[in-house]
Amino acid sequence: PGDKKITVVFVLGGPGSGKGTQCANIVQHFGFTHLSAGDLLRAEIKSGSENGTMIQNMIKEGKIVPSEVTIKLLQRAMLESGNDKFLVDGFPRNEENRAAFESVTNIEPEFVLFFDCSEEEMERRLLNRNQGRDDDNIDTIRKRFNVFLESSLPVIEYYNSKGKVRKIDAAKPIDEIFEVVKGIFAPYST
């Protein structure tokens, strides 16, 4: 535990709203390290860890993996990166994730980037993605949408009440969205 100031931006939005796509652009322009909680969990399944089967089942059902598992993976990735600026993509997904992250790491996000997109458009994107993700089928997609509305939107509302949400219209083309994103990150360029 050093005194080094760590900058964390939470990147939130529904399934298929474009979090991963925009994070890749932000990394290139602003020197952040991208930590997708979903990618870390999928890597954990592949690594054959003892939690792998549990994680796989939760993802298949669109359910939220217990905080302690996800937070450990995030903390490890932060340490290994050697960086001090992070995009935490797809986390926190519920109130418990949020409170646990704050108390375990003592980190408050600088702000929350919220990609706002209609379910119709997100569904179209996910069904066209074709990356072999176990959860990109219509049954699981519907479950993911429900969990987002019930559990994840309240987290965004919480940060909104603290004036920390930067809401972005994510229904536009990728490059137009990134123009807006750039303006938000300009103060954080190195």
Contact residues toward ligand UP5 (CB under 6 A) are 13, 15-21, 36-38, 41, 58-59, 62-65, 70, 90-91, 93, 125-126, 129, 135, 144, 173-174, 177
- Alpha-helical regions (H) of the chain: 19-30, 37-46, 52-60, 67-81, 95-105, 119-129, 138-147, 153-161, 174-185
Question: Residue 110 CA to chain centroid, in angstroms?
Answer: 15
Give me the residue whose beta carbon is nearest to ligand UP5. 38
CB of 2 to ligand UP5, least distance (A): 25
CB of 84 to ligand UP5, least distance (A): 21
Site for Mg ion contains 31 (CB under 5 A): no
Whichever of 38 and 109 has its CB closer to ligand UP5, that residue is 38
CA pseudo-torsion sign 22, 83, 154, 180: negative
CB of 23 to Mg ion, least distance (A): 8
| Residue 66 to residue 55: CA distance in whole angstroms | 9
Give me the residue whose beta carbon is nearest to Mg ion. 20
* Residue 65 contact partner, candidates ligand UP5, Mg ion, none, CB within 5 to 8 A by sort of partner: ligand UP5
Whichever of 1 and 39 has its CB closer to ligand UP5, that residue is 39
- Total residues binding Mg ion (CB under 5 A): 2
Footprint (CB under 5 A) of Mg ion, residues 61-120: none
| Residue 15 to residue 19: CA distance in whole angstroms | 9
Site for Mg ion contains 20 (CB under 5 A): yes
Give the bridge partners for 7, in sequence order.
Answer: 85
Q: What is the CA radius of gyration of the chain?
A: 16
Give the bridge partners for 113, in sequence order.
Answer: 11, 166
